Structure 1
């Protein structure tokens, strides 16, 4: 399977909205990992697409997710009624970027919108490889997550952690951006550990 490089990758931030906070397990850890992915995108120059699910009811993207810091790497936030992020607007974004081969997905809700986004990507005529950030995905019911990750693997997605993906995208310590990336890893280590313990090991938030 092709190795992801920053110039062939786009990030999808799925439905991280204030209205879902009370119902999502480890919500704060998902936001924390989303911010980690935003910082990684800034270091490596990767564009980020975000969506909301019926924002009139559930609110906009959580202001705790620092999308505005991306500058021109921040693509429009698209409000949707589809559970999948792959709306006509998102399809147009992908079609305008034929160099994109890898789509990194994080957000909520895992067994609904993250799953259906992945299945939609895999069904497109263009060949995309979805990468699911396991420490950046959650659900209202924690029992859903291991079943979700098994299903995603069976369908052809790659389930990763935020840190392993970051190192894969950087590729080598000779990368000119490695120094900034290495500092970023150190700065986010405590939050990364907390997110993994809560979202993947089931420890109390």
Structure 2
């Protein structure tokens, strides 16, 4: 496994929806880190993709995320790979950077689906959440056992930058201060 490469990355934000938020343990922290990832992705030309689970029932993506014009895929299947056409949105050689709710359901099933189809997946530990901390930790261990790399927001940002000489270094570094 190599460093995360901004030129090969796709940021995938799973089900950061308003009606889920009150139930998620430490939701604010995960949401803050997802926002950092999304802002940095915009600065570094990393494409982003969002999903919404049953948006009619769970509502839209929370307004705190700077979504911009990133595409949003509505789904009924817990794993996004179960949504027809979803896999076509993921480039074959992409390093998929994953954040989202709920770690042990939609995030887990999406990650396992991506791994099954041969994608390199990085799960951002501090940008995922579940209702119960045990569910999140169990999901992280399972995803890692199946081949996902477990990373943090700062790891992703600094691997995307690679060097303090990067022209956007100061802007991206300011996101984590």
TM-score band, normalised by shorter chain: over 0.9
Residue in structure 1 matched with residue 111 of structure 2 by the alignment: 118
Residue in structure 1 matched with residue 175 of structure 2 by the alignment: 184
Shift of 1:93: 1.0
Paired residues of 2:14 and 2:51 also in contact (CA < 8 A): yes
Residue in structure 1 matched with residue 96 of structure 2 by the alignment: 103
Residue in structure 1 matched with residue 9 of structure 2 by the alignment: 9
Residue in structure 2 matched with residue 141 of structure 1 by the alignment: 132
**How do 1:8-157 and structure 2 match up within 5 A?**
8-68=8-68, 71=69, 74=70, 76-86=71-81, 87-94=83-90, 97-98=91-92, 100-124=93-117, 127-157=118-148
Shift of 1:44: 1.1
Unaligned runs of 5+ in 1: 187-205
Shift of 1:178: 2.0
Alpha-carbon separation, structure 1, partners of 2:168 and 2:65: 23
Paired residues of 1:34 and 1:65 also in contact (CA < 8 A): yes
Q: Which deviates the most, 6-15 or 18-27?
A: 18-27
Which of the pair is proportionally richer in helix? 1
TM, length-normalised to structure 2: 0.93
Alpha-carbon separation, structure 2, partners of 1:32 and 1:164: 15
Q: Aligned-residue CA RMSD in angstroms? A: 1.4
Alpha-carbon separation, structure 1, partners of 2:170 and 2:35: 19
Alpha-carbon separation, structure 2, partners of 1:117 and 1:140: 18
Unaligned runs of 5+ in 2: none
TM, length-normalised to structure 1: 0.81
Alpha-carbon separation, structure 2, partners of 1:24 and 1:183: 27
Alpha-carbon separation, structure 2, partners of 1:163 and 1:38: 13
Determine which of 148, 165, 180 is the counterpart of 2:156. Answer: 165
